[in-house]
Structure 1
Amino acid sequence: MLPFDFEYYKPETLKEAVDLYQYLDQQGKRPMFFSGGTELITLGRIDLAYTDAVIDIKDIAECKVLQVSGDHVLLGSTLTLTQIEKANLFPLLTKTASQVADHTARGKITLGGNICAQIFYREAVLPFLLADSQVLIVGSEGKQVIPINEIFLGQLRLRKGEFLVQIATESRFVRAPFISIKRRQQWDMGYPLITIAALKTHDLVRVAISGLCPFPFRSKEVEAAFNNKGLSIEERVEGALEVMPDPLLDDVEGSAEYRLFVLKNLLFDVLGALDDVRV
């Protein structure tokens, strides 16, 4: 049970959802777009999340898209991770999503919910960062299509009243060689320590990481060091570690030093899997 009451709305169209948000906001309420609800329930119980009104977008058709259209894979924001796994339209995403939480939770966690969450990990965004995916956002100014690497900077930079509708990914990235590894410190289904996803395109390895910092990221500086084939593999890994962004997580799950140790070994694993692959 949540320690507060809220109004519940279930619009059927994007316009209805956006208009409803503006109306509720003008009434002095604090509305929240809602697709799965796992974070609201979890954080609301410990007073870290609050809303006066929930706008449930799960029934909006555009948010439930799961298809290949031309040379793009289109995935709606309200698809559950389980639905994405079963469809397997983007194998790197399938592998990465299958490592989030446990099977029961993945049936409730939505793609948009994971990407827009407040938690540190948000692993579902990693494949999209690697694939230069495009996000469809809707708000008071209408629909906008924006490269994810321009709008996801530690978190999805949505303006007030906007929400994520779909993500489009080019088929050439969907077919690229990849690896996705998750390391936990304690048990098989415990909180992650480090998750790394990588794919290879144009003879370069792209890397995205979750769990090292308080946000998921893909770094051009890290990739430049990682792909410098004028150096030994050891030097390339050390060079990548030297340009990791700040701050580093240092908590009960693992110290900053231990996370870097785990990541170092994962970077060797990535190069072992992809460095000699020709694409």
Structure 2
Amino acid sequence: MLPFDFDYYRPETLQEAVELFQYLDQHGKQPFIFSGGTELITLGRIDLAFTEAVIDIKDIAEFNVIQLGGEHLVLGSTLSLSKVEEANPFPLLTKTASEVADHTAREKITLGGNICARIFYRETVLPFLLADSQVLIIGPNGKKIVPINDIFQEELRLEKGEFLVQIATENRFIRAPFYTVKRRQQWETGYPLITIAAVNIEGRIRVAISGLCPFPFRSIGVEEALNNRGQSWEARVDAAISVLPQPILEDVEGSSEYRLFVLRNLFSDLLAALDRV
């Protein structure tokens, strides 16, 4: 149970959702966008989230698409992680999403909910950062399509009243050789230390990381270091470690030193998997 009451709304169209958010916000209701509900329930119980109005967007058709055709795969933001896993339209995304929480939770957690969450892991954004995916956003000023790497800077930087509707990814990234691993301290379903995802596109490795810093990221500097084939693997890994963003997390899951130790081994493993593909 949540320790506060709220009004519940279930709009049927994108425009209705946008207008409803504006109306509720203007009336001081602090509207909360609801697609899976896990964050509201989890944070609301410990007084870290509050709202007087919930806007449930799960019934809006555009949020629920899985469309593979032409040159792009299009995924709606309210698809649950379990639906993504079952459909398996993007193997790198499937593998990365399949290790988020447990199966029961993945039936509720959505793509958009995970990407926009306040928890710092947000692993499902990693494949989209690697693939230069495009995001469809709707808000008070209408629709716009933006490269995810332009709008995701430590978090998805939406303006107030904007909704993440869909994510489009080129087919060539969907078919690319990939490597993805989640390392935990000890438990099979515990919080991760580090999740790493990588692809080889036209002979170059791209890499994105979650759990190392207080935000998921893709680093061009790290990629440049790992792709410097004029050096040994050890030198390339050392160079990649030297250009990591800061700060490195230090918490009950693991110290910053231990995280860097784990990452060093993961970098070596991904080079073994992708360097000669």
TM-score by length of 1: 0.98
Partner of 2:259: 259
Partner of 1:78: 78
Any idea what the Cα deviations from partners look like across 1:79-134, whole Å, max 9, x if unmatched? 00000011111000000000111111111100000000000100000000000000
Distance in 2 of aligned mates of 1:61 and 1:244: 40
Distance in 1 of aligned mates of 2:157 and 2:256: 26
Partner of 2:95: 95
Q: Give the superposition deviation at 1:69.
A: 2.6
Name the aligned partner's letter for residue 64 of structure 1: N
Partner of 1:127: 127
- For the pair 1:272 / 2:242, whether they are aligned, the reply is no
Distance in 1 of aligned mates of 2:100 and 2:33: 22
Name the aligned partner's letter for residue 276 of structure 2: D
Distance in 1 of aligned mates of 2:101 and 2:23: 36
Distance in 1 of aligned mates of 2:28 and 2:3: 20
Q: Give the superposition deviation at 1:27.
A: 1.1
Distance in 2 of aligned mates of 1:26 and 1:191: 38
Partner of 2:239: 239
Alpha carbon RMSD of aligned pairs, Å? 0.6
Partner of 1:104: 104
Distance in 1 of aligned mates of 2:222 and 2:180: 17
Partner of 2:175: 175
Any idea what the Cα deviations from partners look like across 1:21-45, whole Å, max 9, x if unmatched? 0011111211011100001100000
Distance in 2 of aligned mates of 1:207 and 1:33: 30
Q: How many residues are aligned here?
A: 277
- For the pair 1:213 / 2:216, whether they are aligned, the reply is no
Q: Give the superposition deviation at 1:8.
A: 0.4
Distance in 1 of aligned mates of 2:88 and 2:67: 10
Name the aligned partner's letter for residue 260 of structure 2: L
Partner of 2:59: 59
Name the aligned partner's letter for residue 85 of structure 2: E
Gaps of 5+ in 1: none
> After superposition, where does 1:192-207 map in structure 2 within 5 Å?
192-207=192-207
Distance in 2 of aligned mates of 1:31 and 1:19: 12
Any idea what the Cα deviations from partners look like across 1:212-243, whole Å, max 9, x if unmatched? 00000000011011111111100000100000
Distance in 1 of aligned mates of 2:187 and 2:254: 13
Q: Give the superposition deviation at 1:67.
A: 1.5
Identity rate, percent? 72
Partner of 2:44: 44
Name the aligned partner's letter for residue 255 of structure 1: S
Distance in 1 of aligned mates of 2:178 and 2:148: 19
Name the aligned partner's letter for residue 44 of structure 2: G
3-state SS in 1 of match to 2:214: coil
Name the aligned partner's letter for residue 87 of structure 1: A
Distance in 1 of aligned mates of 2:15 and 2:108: 25
Name the aligned partner's letter for residue 24 of structure 2: L
Partner of 1:158: 158
Any idea what the Cα deviations from partners look like across 1:50-98, whole Å, max 9, x if unmatched? 1110000000000000110311001000000000011111000000000
Partner of 1:32: 32
Distance in 2 of aligned mates of 1:170 and 1:10: 32
Name the aligned partner's letter for residue 271 of structure 1: L
Distance in 2 of aligned mates of 1:31 and 1:271: 45
Partner of 1:229: 229
Distance in 1 of aligned mates of 2:10 and 2:157: 24
3-state SS in 2 of match to 1:96: helix
3-state SS in 1 of match to 2:11: coil
Name the aligned partner's letter for residue 124 of structure 2: A
